[in-house]
Chains A and B, each alone.
Chain A
Amino acid sequence: MCLALPVQIVATDPERSAALVEIEGVQREICTMLLDTDSTPGDWVIVHVGFALCRLHEDAARETLALLAEGRARSQAPGKKL
């Protein structure tokens, strides 16, 4: 459905809605038109067909990993339901 990959922004060009992203030394320019706020170098985004699809939130990622590490399923965390 959608091959997409976490990459890190290393440079931005807001006028052209463009950003240079990088993963393990592999670099490509992508378009940031689909992001609602300006991105800054260091941000992580999901890239799909040359576009930043959405931002990645490190706090949520660490929380997911913490739950995994405790061996408890995500659902048992209080108040996390929709």
Chain B
Amino acid sequence: MKYIDEFRDPKLAASLLADIHARMPDRPPDNPLKLMEVCGGHTHAIHRAGLPSLLPDSLELVHGPGCPVCVTPTGRIDDAVVLASEEKSILCTFGDAARAPGSKGSLLDAKATGADVRVVYSPLDALALAETHPDREVVFFAVGFETTAPAVAATIVRARRQGIPNFSVLSNHVLVVPGLKAILARPGSKLEGFIGPGHVSCTIGSEPYRFIPEEHGLPIVISGFEPLDLLQALLMLLDQLTQGRCEVENQYQRAVQPHGNPTAKAIISQVFRARPHFAWRGLGPVPGGGLRLRDEFAAFDAEERFSLPGKSVPDPKACRCGEVLVGAKKPWECGAFATRCTPENPLGACMVSSEGACAASYAYEHRRQVSWEKATG
């Protein structure tokens, strides 16, 4: 068992697809069944397998806000650029976060003009840099949901235990449940069910999603990341809808437990506390939507150690990401789509990530009629 190839078997995928088509409730084309895959990783896996071209036309997968890089507010990237440009600092970041544009360019743009910006695979690599560069201020630009927050928390605990004074974290961690609540609170949401995030749920478990069926009457199935996982999760959602059931189901049983990972949850709450609210790009201020280091870890909190502009740069008025995120608007129904808002200079979250709803549409969807048959002539 290697946990990857077994879950990419094309034969099993074909039978799952057949079941999905067979059990799909019939829907007029102008009122498709809208299901949201919350997690950006799922969006990426769905596109990579080419699933949109195989699913029924009356089933629309709405890409959720689950890409931590895309929802990071512009003002926070501007703060990171300011920090990176300080003479003594080394600004460490994940690769995709390095490309996310702030109002005066991205971290990679800052690197080009002399800032010491380094792409790292792990927060521990940033801590190692702090150990080997005692004369420099190493700051880790932390983004990510509850999947990444425990890793950063563990790194901060280790930094304190090892007494490393020149390491700090600029925390932009976001929480999935407040984000989902913000989406469900938006008017005009046409969502009828959720594919729940897989690896966030490794940390928080499946219990925290109970509010979705109980308070909103919508089904949610937590899914793995391989094509068979996603297809099976979709089928489970369709079965709930057609059988009149509405509950939290867990397709990713090999990795997700009902109560998640207690150690990971404990270290998050040891190091971080929820912010009263945190702006998500495209959704605006989300109550309890972000994490900040607790006071006893203030020595490792970049917001405490350095004076940052801390300006909140609101989303441009033309940006309709909020409505696109809840399926109330299609990307091309936003006035800025493909004109002021393009992958090269994205206005909102949905255009920042290469799989965000608008970026995907800019590249893929509106060419969707170029199906394989037409292309092969």
From A5, A53, A67, A81, B249 is in contact (CB under 8 Å) with: A81
| A contact residues, total (Cβ < 8 Å) | 40
| B contact residues, total (Cβ < 8 Å) | 68
Q: Which residues of B contact A53 (CB under 8 A)?
A: 147, 150-151, 199, 202-203, 261, 264
Give Cα A60–Cα B213 distance, bound, in whole angstroms.
25
Query: Smallest distance from the beta carbon of A18 to chain B beta carbons, Å?
Result: 10
Known: A2-B39, A50-B121, A69-B12. Is A34-B150 also a contact (CB below 8 A)?
A: yes
Known: A68-B16, A71-B19, A75-B249. Is A34-B147 also a contact (CB below 8 A)?
A: no
Docked-complex contact A57 and B254, CB < 8 angstroms: yes
Q: Which residues of A contact B247 (CB under 8 A)?
A: 81-82
Query: Smallest distance from the beta carbon of A53 to chain B beta carbons, Å?
Result: 5
List CB contacts (< 8 Å) of B156-212 with chain A. 157-158, 176, 197-200, 202-203, 206-207
Give Cα A68–Cα B147 distance, bound, in whole angstroms.
27
A15 at the interface (CB under 8 A from B): no
Query: Smallest distance from the beta carbon of A58 to chain B beta carbons, Å?
Result: 5
Docked-complex contact A48 and B248, CB < 8 angstroms: no
From A1, A57, A60, B145 is in contact (CB under 8 Å) with: A1
Docked-complex contact B232 and A61, CB < 8 angstroms: no
Query: Smallest distance from the beta carbon of B307 to chain A beta carbons, Å?
Result: 29
Query: Smallest distance from the beta carbon of B333 to chain A beta carbons, Å?
Result: 26
Docked-complex contact A50 and B123, CB < 8 angstroms: yes
Give Cα A75–Cα B251 distance, bound, in whole angstroms.
9
B103 at the interface (CB under 8 A from A): no
Give Cα A51–Cα B149 distance, bound, in whole angstroms.
11
Which residue of the partner chain B has the closest CB to A61? B254
Docked-complex contact B151 and A76, CB < 8 angstroms: no
Q: Which residues of A contact B198 (CB under 8 A)?
A: 2
List CB contacts (< 8 Å) of B244-275 with chain A. 245, 247-251, 253-258, 260-264, 267
Which residue of the partner chain A has the closest CB to B12? A68
B6 at the interface (CB under 8 A from A): yes
Docked-complex contact A48 and B151, CB < 8 angstroms: yes
Query: Smallest distance from the beta carbon of B15 to chain A beta carbons, Å?
Result: 5
Binds A, one of B234-242, B278-286, B291-299: B234-242
1/0 per residue, CB under 8 A from A, across B60-89: the answer is 000000111000000000000000000000
Which residue of the partner chain A has the closest CB to B125? A50
Docked-complex contact A49 and B123, CB < 8 angstroms: yes
A19 at the interface (CB under 8 A from B): no
1/0 per residue, CB under 8 A from B, across A42-82: the answer is 00101011110111111011111101110101111000011
Docked-complex contact B150 and A51, CB < 8 angstroms: yes
Which residue of the partner chain B has the closest CB to A50? B122
Which residue of the partner chain B has the closest CB to A18? B124
Docked-complex contact B250 and A75, CB < 8 angstroms: no
Interface pairs A-B: 3 shortest CB-CB: A50-B122, A2-B147, A6-B3
11 contacts between A and B (CB under 8 A): A1-B38, A1-B41, A2-B148, A4-B41, A6-B2, A6-B3, A53-B202, A68-B16, A68-B232, A73-B236, A74-B232
Which positions in A face B, CB cutoff 8 Å?
1-6, 23, 31, 33-36, 44, 46, 48-51, 53-58, 60-65, 67-69, 71, 73-76, 81-82
